[in-house]
């Protein structure tokens, strides 16, 4: 076992009951072998066997992919944009006064609602965040087990298909106004390329209501010229954020970004 595996196991033990069984299941589960993960504090999360749910759980809870450890202990209101099945929302909920989740995929949304049902200050909205309000076509992943790859853009991972669904779209500005959010402590974004349109379409006075951003940036085939992290980082710095990035070793032009005031 690698040193990192030992570290991850002991992190898992501090979080959940029956950590060994949970880890073995996460490494070898098959479709249909779902598992409820029970935290020491009584919280419960349902993960789907054979999908990427445990991988996402590992990244958020064990690896701290979104660098929550670098943020203030109390975050006020948090927006989880591209919430998937609610893992980030459940991770950040103990530190937030309110969490509003956005997830357009019907299958993911059903599990998001289940996983956050016991958290009164967490709300789920079955919408996609985009540069414009209205409707858009949500492309399904080519790999049906990669439930984090639903996208408003056609790509190698999410191609146009008969199973695509039309979903409602909302802008960041409209969400802050509609939800009555004067100050947002954190916006987390994992929206498969829509991050550029969302942020570029947000007026400066609205962005100034946001204290921190974190998320994934993506490469959009045949996308607009400014759909890249270099231009997005310059845009965010122009609105008062300090920006750090972490490029993926496997996917050039993609990675994670972290912006704070």
CATH of the domain at 140: 3.40.50.150
**Do 43 and 133 reside in the same domain of the chain?**
no
pLDDT band at 7 (very low <50, low <70, confident <90, very high): confident
Domain of 23 in residue numbering reads as 1-58
pLDDT, tens only, 144-167: 566 666 777 766 565 666 578 899
Regarding whether 68 and 22 lie in a shared domain, the answer is no
On whether both 106 and 205 belong to a single domain, the answer is: yes
Concatenating the DSSP letter of every residue in 183-208 gives -BSEEEE--TTTHHHHHHTS-HHHHT
Calculate what percentage of the chain has a pLDDT beyond 90.
79
pLDDT tens, residue by residue, 94-139: 999 999 999 999 999 999 999 999 999 999 999 999 999 999 998 8
Is 68 found in the same domain as 126?
yes
CA 33 vs CA 46, 58, 68, 148, 249: distances in Å: 11, 18, 30, 19, 31
Report phi then psi at 111, rounded to 5: -75, -30
Domain tally for the chain?
2
Q: Is the pTM of this model over 0.75?
A: yes
Q: The tokens of 249 are what?
A: 């070793």
More confident residue, 154 or 257: 257
Q: For residues 172 and 232, state if they share a domain.
A: yes
Last residue of a domain, one of 9, 32, 58: 58
Look at the block and give the residue holding tokens 């996402």: 56
| Pair (96, 42) in one structural domain | no
Same domain, yes or no: 171 and 78 = yes
């Amino acid at each position: 076992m690698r040193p990192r595996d030992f570290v991850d196991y002991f992190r898992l033990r501090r979080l959940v009951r029956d950590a060994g069984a949970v880890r073995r299941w996460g490494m070898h589960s098959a479709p249909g072998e779902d598992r409820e993960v029970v935290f020491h504090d009584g919280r419960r999360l349902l993960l789907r066997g054979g999908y990427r749910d445990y991988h996402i759980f590992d990244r958020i809870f064990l690896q701290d992919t979104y660098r929550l450890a670098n943020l203030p202990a109390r975050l006020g209101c948090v927006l989880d944009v591209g919430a998937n099945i609610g893992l980030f929302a459940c991770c950040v909920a103990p530190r937030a006064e309110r969490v509003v989740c956005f997830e357009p995929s019907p299958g993911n949304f059903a599990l998001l609602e289940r996983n956050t049902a016991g958290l009164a200050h967490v709300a789920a909205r079955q919408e996609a965040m985009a540069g414009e309000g209205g409707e858009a076509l949500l492309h399904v992943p080519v790999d049906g087990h990669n439930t984090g790859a639903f996208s408003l853009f056609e790509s190698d991972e999410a191609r146009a298909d008969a199973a695509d669904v039309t979903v409602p779209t909302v802008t960041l500005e409209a969400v802050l106004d509609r939800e009555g959010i004067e100050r947002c402590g954190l916006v987390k974004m994992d929206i498969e390329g829509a991050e550029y349109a969302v942020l570029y379409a947000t007026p400066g006075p609205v962005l100034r209501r946001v204290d921190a951003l974190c998320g994934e940036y993506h490469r959009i085939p045949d996308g607009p010229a400014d759909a890249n992290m270099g231009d997005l980082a310059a845009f965010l710095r122009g609105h008062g954020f300090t920006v750090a990035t972490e490029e993926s070793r496997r996917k050039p032009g993609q990675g994670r970004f972290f912006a704070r005031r």
